Amino acid sequence: MKPIAITCGDPAGIGPEVVEHHLRLEPAWAERVVLIGPQAWLDAPAFSTAQKIPVGSASFTMNPGHPSLEGASIACEALERAAEGCKAGTFSAVVTGPVSKSWMQQVGFTFPGQTEFFAARWGGVPTMAFAGERMVLTLGTWHIPLAEVPAAITKAVIERTVRHTGWLLKHLGKADPVIGVCGLNPHAGEEGILGREEIETINPCLEVLRNQYPALSDCQPADTLFHRHLQGDFDAVIAWYHDQGLAPLKALEFDTAVNITLGLPYVRTSPDHGTAFSI
């Protein structure tokens, strides 16, 4: 099997430390991965048997907690090398370390996140998803301002999110996936009193999709849907914007959930946390 590429993320963040810690605990994995990052990181003893691709200047010095433009450039270059390697058939998949989008945009990174970067490099229409020990979550939208969310929930977005959720659950062993869908508004709109997106846009699309996914719910109040998911009523939850889904997920599965990008030709995963510069 071809190796998995692991990018360093921002060298000043926690990503390099997490990768090194894991390979120290699980040394057999070192022979199954290719590490992409600064030479100072690749010289770690835990990486002695791993394949390595250095990026950036050989003289670059890592300074945890202190991001820099040079470090952001290294993070960008690592992503490019990983994406190119998958297209060339060198890598089977990519695991990305956490990056700082604001620092990367200062060195020319034009994407709102790594998900959008890989979609641009590989083609495909992505869905951001998360799988943990207790929860499975997919998002209809993610890296956009909250004010833009209602207009962004189109028929195409709803169809894409439901189909990708069904695909993920079937690959997780759920032959007949049961999918719970969050309402956008409080109380799923309260029959139109608190908002009409559920009545006018989301539920009509879900009704059509139920021909393919019979156990797909209508919009449910989001404040109780995650509890019902944990109780086993649903195999996964669809949330319509970033914090609607990630607030409960990270409260319950901060150390156990994995970010999975669906809808792309190659597998890409990442931790579900950021750079942690402050610690």
Query: Do the first three CATH levels of 4-111 and 127-262 match, i.e. the same topology?
Result: no
CATH number 3.40.718.10 is the correct assignment for the domain at 127-262: yes
pLDDT at 118: 97
Per the document, the length of the chain is 279
pLDDT at 279: 84
Give strand pairing partners of 22.
Answer: none
Q: Which residues contact 14 (CB under 8 A, 6 or more apart)?
A: 64, 98, 273, 275, 276, 279
pLDDT tens per residue across all 279 residues of the chain? 899 999 999 999 999 999 999 999 999 999 999 999 999 999 999 898 999 999 999 999 999 999 999 999 999 999 999 999 999 999 999 999 999 999 999 999 999 999 999 999 999 999 999 999 999 999 999 999 999 999 999 999 999 999 999 999 999 999 999 999 999 999 999 999 999 999 999 999 999 999 999 999 999 999 999 999 999 999 999 999 999 999 999 999 998 999 999 999 999 999 878 899 998
Give the residue among 106, 110, 86 at the shortest CA–CA distance from 96.
86
- pTM of the prediction? 0.91
pLDDT at 1: 84
For domain 4-111, give the fold.
Answer: Rossmann fold (3.40.50)
